[in-house]
């Protein structure tokens, strides 16, 4: 099955961790202080595993972090993993564009290979205090690609994910005013109980929008702009029906701190704790007691020697099997209507059904809800059937407009993007071109595999079967179409080009031949897109039942992979789009900010491809490593092998600014009322464009126009680390204990310090150039001049009420101490309690 995305947080989703702590799971209690003879070996890691075996899944973040940072680091294992990933990531299609992105790309540039070398240097310099520090640095680099086809689930980082205990939403009162942040339960409960919820003004003393932007930038995986990262933090009924977790409340990757405080507009403060979700199945690990045991299990994949896995008692399922729902109402907290006129068979959070269809009769509008394309193979037919039934019924009922709701759609089966498009536009052939990097290792894989396949003898039964089975192999090109000629490629050599672009080399553009049943059978689990074939069956409409101007796509920007392929096909046909939500500021938002790559590819498949090519070809033997050993135990890893490319273009779709035609804010009234949301969408799309967010229109390329993209957000800072001579800025940690320094300009709660320009005058006119020394373990030290603002307290006063401790770094103890005494206030800028020590300029903060 060709998947363009394939991610499920299934086990956690199924456990029902929702907007607040469910009763079945509870955090571990604070470490006990009883005087019972302590087990000499026991550590916090052991306590967690014991509790997990008793059925607890949620722990204090502080305990998880204490455990994670007790896991030792081994430079040889880390080095092997870096080598493995370095070989693998050469196949990532976007390396050159990440290094030098075109105008319109909204994320920071990153030189992936340079960064890998930086990490290797830190390994060599023994700069990682523990395994968590190494893995966090590494994972930040995979996140810096902003491509959800690039994934890595490995090592101790896979053991936990982090969560704020309350889910939040970002909603406007009237659709025009900038949204504010509310606790999701407050929005739901207040509507029922008739009171006014109060918005959150700050989290942990940081203004709420700033806090969430920084948290999102650090923890988000795979979005090409911050508006989408913002939405991924928030609750959504369309996420509820899929059992997913938000980035803020469940899918946090990095240790966020121990406790956190929400402050509301009405002055109330809510003090609470960060949580950690343990992701391993209870009892399957055997008895893990120490950080060293965690290393063996999570990093090396070894069970304890004393443990006999056949003794595992599997978690038992005691629930009764009940009839599945026929609507999404209950599971979406009342948001979805309970009367869909189309509902795919086996709906349900854990069921196979995804598609529902609705009518808004008074405005003659049908709504097709496609929350995902990630259908399991057995349900592909039901999915397509539901789509066709929707279109047929909507047309028979003479509905004049259709909203296709793609909120939260993470992609899935590529086939469904093709078939859904063709169900709407049977008369059109989508372009759907793609290409890959052209370099020696890839080309030897391609030429060896393609030649092998071409040479198989169709008259020999075994060869014939093998030929059919291999027909969708990624390294076979002679049954794919050359977009330039409309004919099959004749050889890999014809395909490999190279086509030079952005200082890298690429193949020609390929397309699938969907009329080729042998390819289809191999690619799509025996499902056939008959509507692409000369002899259409009853599955295909003869003609389109809706025109592009009758249809609008609704997204929340999170649309990824197969969803972005669908959006691309539909918008090239002239269908317009509305994006909902995003950061609380006016202006446009992109429709599909999840990956726009054409296909995800697993590192394990690449391992197999390489051994296969070595076994059939002597050139491959010379060019390709004999054994690929990741060193570290890897549950899942992969990359984007092919870019989506528009006809006659060279820039991958991933890097183009593709604005929605209109953007709307979610409102208090529509965030948990889909009917209201769809009315609002229909109004903005078809009736009154003034309902769109100010400044959000006129940026789209829907009708093949090419307006200028808006400028890149100012807040994005260049990558930096002490090893690079291009050091432009340094950052400091707000909290010396939290261990977080991002090499990519993403500290939690940190601030920026700008280095002095050569003329010695700070750009803001207020700060002054002062010499400071930055030193970090393993990174050496550096004397720089930085623009240091005067001490300010939170209220903006520049006279600190006492001593002001500027830039005290724990390692270097540089001077510049001005004395200040801070009293009770919370401070930003550079006023700190005199007891505080700040670490400065380290790419990570090795625990002292
Ligand atoms: C990664 O691979 C590139 C290209 O082969 C090489 O130049 C670089 O040194 C490698 N980096 C590491 C850390 O192995
Ligand atoms: C303030 O608002 C919060 C959030 O809506 C609510 O939980 C709390 O009860 C309110 N406090 C008061 C005193 O009204
Ligand atoms: C919130 O503040 C607490 C106490 O200062 C700190 O321990 C925690 O790390 C902070 N969390 C974040 C995310 O800043
Ligand atoms: C949060 O942590 C800080 C520092 O560890 C502590 O001073 C503060 O009291 C904690 N807040 C809560 C709500 O526990
Ligand atoms: C783990 O195994 C023990 C018995 O060996 C059993 O009592 C316990 O319920 C199991 N834990 C879970 C979460 O299934
Ligand atoms: C919606 O589904 C629920 C089960 O979740 C069912 O009880 C209810 O009858 C359904 N509503 C309608 C109108 O069919
Ligand atoms: C419906 O929702 C309620 C409250 O959220 C929950 O207790 C109940 O189990 C749900 N029913 C189903 C069938 O999901
Ligand atoms: C309308 O939907 C029903 C199922 O609800 C289906 O049986 C019927 O075939 C559909 N009609 C058309 C024209 O697709
Ligand atoms: C749809 O329009 C056709 C042609 O005007 C008409 O015959 C048919 O009755 C209408 N169907 C409905 C459900 O209104
Ligand atoms: C491409 O080759 C396949 C056989 O591999 C053949 O079935 C198909 O018709 C060819 N397509 C075109 C467009 O020539
Ligand atoms: C696209 O542009 C053409 C003219 O360039 C116009 O005739 C057509 O109506 C436009 N289509 C849409 C869907 O805006
Ligand atoms: C949802 O919105 C619709 C349309 O405004 C309204 O009729 C309905 O009462 C709302 N539902 C709830 C539960 O508020």
Residue 471 reports pLDDT greater than 60:
yes
**H or E element, residue 10:** helix 10-15
Regarding predicted confidence, which is higher, 790 or 759?
Answer: 759
- pLDDT at residue 625 in the model: 84
Answer whether 53 contacts ligand 5 (Cβ < 6 A).
Answer: yes
Q: Residue range 808-826: average pLDDT?
A: 23
Q: Three-class SS of residue 356?
A: strand
Intra-chain end-to-end CA distance of the chain, in Å: 49
User: Residue 593 Cα, ligand 1 centroid: separation in angstroms?
Assistant: 30
Q: Is 181 left (phi over 0), alpha (psi -120 to 50) or beta?
A: beta
Residue 487 reports pLDDT greater than 80:
yes
Instruction: Note if the bond before 790 is cis, omega within 30 degrees.
Output: no
Strand partners, 126: none
Per-residue burial over 431-440, b = 16 or more CB atoms within 10 Å of its CB, e = otherwise = bbbbbbbbee
**H or E element, residue 597:** strand 597-602
Which ligand 1 atom is nearest residue 83's CA? 14
Cα 626 from Cα 635, distance rounded (Å): 22
Which ligand 11 atom is nearest residue 548's CA? 13
- pLDDT at residue 101 in the model: 96
Regarding predicted confidence, which is higher, 739 or 201?
Answer: 201
Cβ neighbour number for residue 233 with a 10 Å cutoff: 24
Answer whether 313 contacts ligand 5 (Cβ < 6 A).
Answer: yes
Q: Which residues line ligand 7 (CB under 6 A)?
A: 330-331
Q: pLDDT (tens digit, 9 = 90+) per residue, 234-256? A: 999 999 999 999 999 999 999 99
- pLDDT at residue 241 in the model: 95
**H or E element, residue 568:** helix 562-572
Asked whether the beta carbons of 517 and 524 are under 8 A apart, the reply is: no
User: Residue 197 Cα, ligand 2 centroid: separation in angstroms?
Assistant: 7
Which ligand 1 atom is nearest residue 116's CA? 13
Number of the ligand closest to the Cα of 356: 8
| Helices and strands in the chain, H and E counts | 22, 30
Distant-in-sequence, close-in-space partners of 487: CB < 8 Å, separation ≥ 6: 481
Q: pLDDT (tens digit, 9 = 90+) per residue, 727-769? A: 222 333 332 222 222 222 222 222 345 567 777 777 777 666 6
Average pLDDT for the chain: 82
User: Residue 330 Cα, ligand 6 centroid: separation in angstroms?
Assistant: 8
Answer whether 749 contacts ligand 11 (Cβ < 6 A).
Answer: no
Q: pLDDT (tens digit, 9 = 90+) per residue, 575-590? A: 999 999 999 999 999 9
Q: pLDDT (tens digit, 9 = 90+) per residue, 133-169? A: 999 999 999 999 999 999 999 999 999 999 999 999 9
Cα 352 from Cα 376, distance rounded (Å): 7
Asked whether the beta carbons of 675 and 183 are under 8 A apart, the reply is: no
Cα 353 from Cα 569, distance rounded (Å): 24
Residue 313: band (very low, low, confident or very high) from pLDDT cuts 50, 70, 90: low
Least confidently predicted of 32-36, 153-157, 244-248, 359-363: 32-36
Answer whether 342 contacts ligand 8 (Cβ < 6 A).
Answer: yes
**Cα separation values, 699 from 657, 661, 711, Å:** 9, 7, 12
What DSSP state is assigned to residue 784?
E
Strands 200-203 and 206-207: antiparallel
Least confidently predicted of 265-269, 318-322, 475-479, 801-805: 801-805
- pLDDT at residue 281 in the model: 85
Residue 819: band (very low, low, confident or very high) from pLDDT cuts 50, 70, 90: very low
* Residue of minimum CA distance from atom 2 in ligand 4: 259
User: Residue 362 Cα, ligand 9 centroid: separation in angstroms?
Assistant: 16
* Residue of minimum CA distance from atom 13 in ligand 5: 55
Residue 215: band (very low, low, confident or very high) from pLDDT cuts 50, 70, 90: very high
Of 844, 5, 838, which Cα lies nearest the Cα of 410? 5
Answer whether 351 contacts ligand 6 (Cβ < 6 A).
Answer: no
Torsion angle in degrees (nearest 10) through CA of 45, 46, 48, 50: 170
Q: pLDDT (tens digit, 9 = 90+) per residue, 591-608? A: 999 999 999 999 999 999
* Residue of minimum CA distance from atom 7 in ligand 5: 54
Reported as half-sphere exposure (CB side, CA atoms, 13 A), residue 200 has a value of: 29
Which ligand 2 atom is nearest residue 197's CA? 5
Cα 411 from Cα 149, distance rounded (Å): 11
Answer whether 258 contacts ligand 4 (Cβ < 6 A).
Answer: yes
Asked whether the beta carbons of 220 and 247 are under 8 A apart, the reply is: yes
Pocket probe for ligand 5: among 280, 282, 311, 317, the residue whose CB has the most ligand atoms within 8 Å is 282
Cα 11 from Cα 787, distance rounded (Å): 49
Number of the ligand closest to the Cα of 393: 8
- pLDDT at residue 335 in the model: 98
* Residue of minimum CA distance from atom 13 in ligand 10: 487
Cβ neighbour number for residue 461 with a 10 Å cutoff: 9
User: Residue 843 Cα, ligand 8 centroid: separation in angstroms?
Assistant: 59
Answer whether 526 contacts ligand 6 (Cβ < 6 A).
Answer: no
- pLDDT at residue 20 in the model: 40
Q: Residue range 622-635: average pLDDT?
A: 88
Q: pLDDT (tens digit, 9 = 90+) per residue, 505-518? A: 999 999 999 999 99
- pLDDT at residue 282 in the model: 83
Which ligand 10 atom is nearest residue 486's CA? 13
Q: Residue range 22-26: average pLDDT?
A: 37
User: Residue 703 Cα, ligand 11 centroid: separation in angstroms?
Assistant: 6
Q: Residue range 428-436: average pLDDT?
A: 97
Residue 839: band (very low, low, confident or very high) from pLDDT cuts 50, 70, 90: very low
User: Residue 429 Cα, ligand 10 centroid: separation in angstroms?
Assistant: 17
Distant-in-sequence, close-in-space partners of 238: CB < 8 Å, separation ≥ 6: 332, 369, 371, 405, 407, 408, 556
Q: Residue range 171-195: average pLDDT?
A: 97
User: Residue 739 Cα, ligand 3 centroid: separation in angstroms?
Assistant: 12
Number of the ligand closest to the Cα of 482: 10
- pLDDT at residue 254 in the model: 96
Which ligand 9 atom is nearest residue 398's CA? 1
- The residue ranges of DSSP E strands in 159-280, in sequence order, are 160-163, 168-171, 180-183, 200-203, 206-207, 249-252, 259-264, 269-273, 275-278
Share above pLDDT 90 across residues of the chain, in percent, rounded to a whole number: 69
**Cα separation values, 227 from 250, 442, 612, 663, 676, Å:** 19, 35, 43, 11, 22
Answer whether 683 contacts ligand 12 (Cβ < 6 A).
Answer: no
- pLDDT at residue 749 in the model: 26
- pLDDT at residue 321 in the model: 60
Number of the ligand closest to the Cα of 61: 3
Q: Three-class SS of residue 181?
A: strand
Residue 622: band (very low, low, confident or very high) from pLDDT cuts 50, 70, 90: confident
Asked whether the beta carbons of 495 and 449 are under 8 A apart, the reply is: no
Answer whether 120 contacts ligand 1 (Cβ < 6 A).
Answer: yes
- pLDDT at residue 315 in the model: 58
């Amino acid at each position: 099955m060709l998947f363009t995305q394939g991610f499920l947080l299934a086990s956690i989703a199924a456990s029902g961790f929702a907007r607040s702590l469910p009763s079945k799971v509870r955090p571990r209690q604070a470490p006990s202080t009883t005087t019972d003879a302590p087990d000499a070996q026991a550590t916090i890691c052991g306590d967690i595993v014991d509790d997990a075996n008793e059925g607890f899944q949620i722990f204090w973040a502080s305990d998880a972090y204490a455990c994670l940072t007790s896991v030792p680091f081994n430079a040889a294992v880390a080095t092997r993993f870096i080598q493995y990933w370095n070989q693998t990531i050469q196949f990532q299609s976007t390396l050159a564009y990440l290094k030098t992105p075109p105008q319109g790309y909204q994320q920071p540039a990153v030189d992936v290979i340079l960064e890998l070398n930086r990490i290797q240097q830190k390994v060599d310099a023994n700069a990682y205090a523990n395994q968590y520090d190494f893995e966090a640095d590494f994972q930040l680099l995979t996140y810096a690609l902003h491509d959800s086809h690039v994934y890595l689930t490995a090592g101790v980082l896979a053991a936990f994910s982090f969560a704020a205990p309350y889910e939040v939403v970002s909603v406007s009162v009237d659709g025009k005013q900038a949204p504010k942040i509310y606790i999701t339960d407050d929005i739901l409960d207040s509507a029922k109980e008739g009171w006014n919820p109060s918005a959150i003004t700050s989290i942990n003393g940081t203004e709420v929008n700033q806090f969430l932007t920084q948290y999102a930038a650090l923890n988000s995986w795979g979005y090409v702009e911050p508006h989408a990262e913002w939405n991924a933090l928030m609750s959504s009924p369309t996420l509820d029906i899929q059992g997913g977790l938000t980035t803020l409340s469940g899918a946090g990757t990095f240790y966020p701190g121990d406790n956190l405080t929400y402050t509301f507009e009405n002055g109330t403060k809510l003090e609470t704790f960060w949580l950690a979700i343990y992701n391993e199945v209870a009892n399957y690990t055997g008895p893990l007691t120490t950080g060293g045991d965690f290393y063996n299990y999570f990093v090396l994949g070894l069970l304890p020697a004393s443990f006999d896995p056949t003794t595992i008692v599997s978690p038992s399922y005691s629930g009764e099997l009940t009839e599945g729902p026929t609507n999404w109402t209950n599971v979406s907290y009342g948001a979805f209507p309970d009367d869909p006129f189309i509902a795919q068979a086996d709906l349900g959070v854990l069921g196979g059904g995804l598609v529902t269809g609705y009518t808004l009769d008074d405005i003659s509008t049908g709504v097709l809800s496609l929350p995902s394309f990630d259908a399991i193979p057995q349900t592909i037919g039901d999915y397509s059937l539901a789509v066709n039934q929707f279109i047929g019924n909507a047309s028979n009922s003479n509905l004049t407009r259709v909203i296709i709701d793609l909120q939260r759609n993470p992609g899935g089966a590529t086939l469904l993007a093709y078939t859904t498009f063709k169900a709407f536009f049977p008369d059109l052939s989508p372009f759907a071109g793609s290409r890959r990097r052209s370099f020696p290792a890839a080309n030897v894989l391609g030429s060896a595999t393609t030649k092998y396949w071409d040479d198989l003898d169709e008259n020999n039964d075994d060869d014939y079967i093998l030929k059919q089975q291999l027909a969708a192999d990624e390294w076979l090109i002679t049954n794919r179409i050359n977009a330039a000629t409309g004919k099959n490629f004749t050889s890999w050599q014809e395909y490999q080009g190279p086509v030079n672009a952005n200082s890298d080399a690429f193949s020609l553009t390929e397309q699938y031949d969907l009329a080729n049943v042998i390819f289809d059978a191999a690619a799509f689990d025996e499902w056939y897109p008959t509507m692409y074939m000369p002899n259409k069956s009853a599955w295909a409409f003869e003609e389109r039942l809706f025109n592009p101007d009758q249809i609008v796509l609704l997204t929340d920007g999170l649309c990824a992979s197969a969803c972005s392929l669908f959006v691309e096909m539909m918008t090239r046909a002239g269908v317009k789009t509305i994006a909902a939500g995003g950061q609380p500021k006016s202006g446009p938002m992109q429709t599909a900010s999840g990956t726009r790559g054409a296909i995800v590819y697993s590192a394990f498949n690449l391992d197999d491809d390489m051994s296969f090519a070595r076994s059939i070809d002597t050139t491959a033997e010379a060019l390709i490593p004999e054994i690929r050993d990741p060193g570290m135990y890897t549950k899942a890893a992969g990359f984007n092998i092919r870019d989506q490319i528009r006809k006659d273009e060279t820039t991958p779709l991933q890097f183009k600014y593709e604005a929605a035609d209109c953007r709307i804010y979610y409102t208090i009234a529509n965030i948990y009322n889909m009917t209201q949301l769809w009315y609002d969408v229909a109004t903005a799309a078809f009736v009154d464009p003034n309902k769109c967010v100010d400044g959000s229109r006129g940026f789209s390329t829907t009708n093949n126009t090419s307006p200028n993209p808006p400028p890149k957000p100012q807040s994005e800072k260049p990558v930096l680390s002490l090893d690079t001579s291009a050091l432009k800025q340094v950052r400091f940690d707000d909290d010396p204990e939290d261990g977080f320094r991002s090499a990519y300009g993403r500290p939690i709660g940190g601030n920026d310090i700008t280095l002095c320009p050569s003329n010695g005058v700070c750009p803001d006119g207020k700060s002054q150039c002062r010499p400071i020394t930055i030193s970090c373990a393993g990174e050496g030290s550096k004397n720089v001049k930085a623009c240091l603002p005067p001490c300010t307290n939170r209220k903006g006063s520049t006279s600190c009420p006492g001593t002001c401790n500027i830039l005290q770094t724990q390692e270097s103890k540089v001077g510049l101490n001005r004395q200040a005494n801070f009293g009770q206030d919370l401070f930003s800028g550079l006023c700190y309690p005199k007891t505080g020590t700040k670490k400065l300029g380290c790419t990570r903060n090795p625990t002292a």
